[in-house]
Structure 1
């Protein structure tokens, strides 16, 4: 039994409106979980033994707009990074909360229980050069490095063992001029599903949703959501029996294109497979403990 955790940056549960590209029945993956027209606040939570949708809190009892640095540290540790910092902070990890990612992360917790975690994202050489020079890593890369897990680069991508941040590899070709093939979202999903045969826990991060939200660009939002939707539908339709798919976010953003800032909306928690440990989730702090519990349940 394996868990595939898809972290989608900047996705909240907002009102159904012309500014909310998530409230669309054509968004088949989200509609699968909500059993409604995409994702919006008018849809009721749904808890079943094999499928779950819950809106969960990302504000963590701290005023202001949630940010990626503290939000992701909270999501990936199960501890309130915003409260430790005394504020929401981002986009990079806050100095006082880095220990959560270095010592108490989801990957560390999985390893302590004897499970093998893996981070599916790949990064180009320029990312490693800049990050090392500044000694400034994202939450996911800091967590991965601190758990002793090698970050993927170009070689693993060419071996079909990892995925780029935009799924279909076009940015590496068009912006970085790297000789990598363009793939379909379905091809990418096959890579993800294959990784579940080798690892107990696989994490994939998709951040273009947050980027589109900041740009208040409905056309770009539609494009990045379309690629993501095809990727997730392929996962949903082909997930091996016994495996569990978990999807969640760190804060709201793209659900309200009338503003370029993050929102205080709840974020979605979608689960397909073993939903038992997630049924009482109330905030992003509950996701990591539930994933670890699900891994343990699968071992029994």
Structure 2
């Protein structure tokens, strides 16, 4: 059994309001998670053995708005990174949380037990040059490297083994002039499903939701939500019965376009598949990593 973990940055469960794109529009992928209910804080929790959906805490008992650096370190290690730092911090890892990502991540702990993990995101050559020059890595790339797992490159994209940040490869073609074909969200989802055949944990990061939330642009928010919704819906419809699909976030943002900052809202926790029931008692983003390691 594999866990297909979708980390979607900056998505909370907001109120039903005009500035919440999830209450203003219908996104079938997101509403598939909530059992057809509007994807807002008003949705009732679903706690069946094969399908779980509810809101969980991302504030971690620390004052201030949640941030990506500490939120993601917590999500991927099960350690309260905001407590370790003494405040919420981001977007990159704090010097005090880098050891957590190096030594206690789901990738590190799973590989130590002989499990196989893959991070689906691919990165262009310019990313590697800049990151190595500045020694500045994101939470996901740092934990992947620290577990001895190679980061995907353009060559992996050409082989159909990886996914770009915006899913369709369009940005790599238009902004980086890299000769790869544009694909649809379903084809990208198939790549993730294929990797689940040979790996125990398959992780994909979608950060454009957080980026769009900071712009406060309804058009940009709608574009990035729609694209991910199609990707998500395909995974839900085509998931192997033996695998568990999991989704959560590090903090809220895009669900409230009245502000350019993050929010205090709970974030979604969705699980579908044979291990979904194991996540029933998860109350915060800190609780997710230990359950993943329990079920793989």
Common topology (TM > 0.5): yes
| 1:236 aligned residue | 236
Deviation per residue, 1:210-262 (Å, 9 max, x gap): 01000001111111111101101110111011100000000000000000000
Deviation at 1:114, TM superposition (A): 2.1
Query: Take 1:71 and 1:41, find their aligned partners in 2: how far apart are those partners?
Result: 20
Query: Take 2:145 and 2:9, find their aligned partners in 1: how far apart are those partners?
Result: 20
Deviation at 1:110, TM superposition (A): 1.2
Deviation at 1:276, TM superposition (A): 2.2
Q: Are the aligned partners of 1:24 and 1:37 in contact in 2 as well (CA < 8 Å)?
A: no
Deviation at 1:33, TM superposition (A): 2.1
Query: Take 1:25 and 1:198, find their aligned partners in 2: how far apart are those partners?
Result: 37
When residues 175 and 283 of structure 1 are mapped into structure 2, their CA distance, relative to the original with a 3 A threshold, is same
Moved over 4 A (4+): none
| 2:81 aligned residue | 81
1:72 is paired with a residue whose SS is helix
Query: Take 2:291 and 2:39, find their aligned partners in 1: how far apart are those partners?
Result: 22
Deviation at 1:28, TM superposition (A): 1.2
1:90 is paired with a residue whose SS is coil
Equivalent runs, 1:1-300 vs 2, <5 Å: 1-23=1-23, 26-273=26-273, 274-295=275-296
Query: Take 1:62 and 1:263, find their aligned partners in 2: how far apart are those partners?
Result: 14
1:191 is paired with a residue whose SS is helix
For structure 2, the 5+ residue unaligned runs are none
Deviation per residue, 1:94-151 (Å, 9 max, x gap): 0011111000001012112321011000000000000000000000000000000000
Query: Take 1:147 and 1:60, find their aligned partners in 2: how far apart are those partners?
Result: 26
Query: Take 1:279 and 1:152, find their aligned partners in 2: how far apart are those partners?
Result: 33
TM-score by length of 2: 0.98
1:22 is paired with a residue whose SS is helix
Query: Take 1:149 and 1:35, find their aligned partners in 2: how far apart are those partners?
Result: 35
Deviation per residue, 1:152-208 (Å, 9 max, x gap): 001001111000000001110111111111000011011111111111110000000
Q: Are the aligned partners of 1:122 and 1:162 in contact in 2 as well (CA < 8 Å)?
A: yes
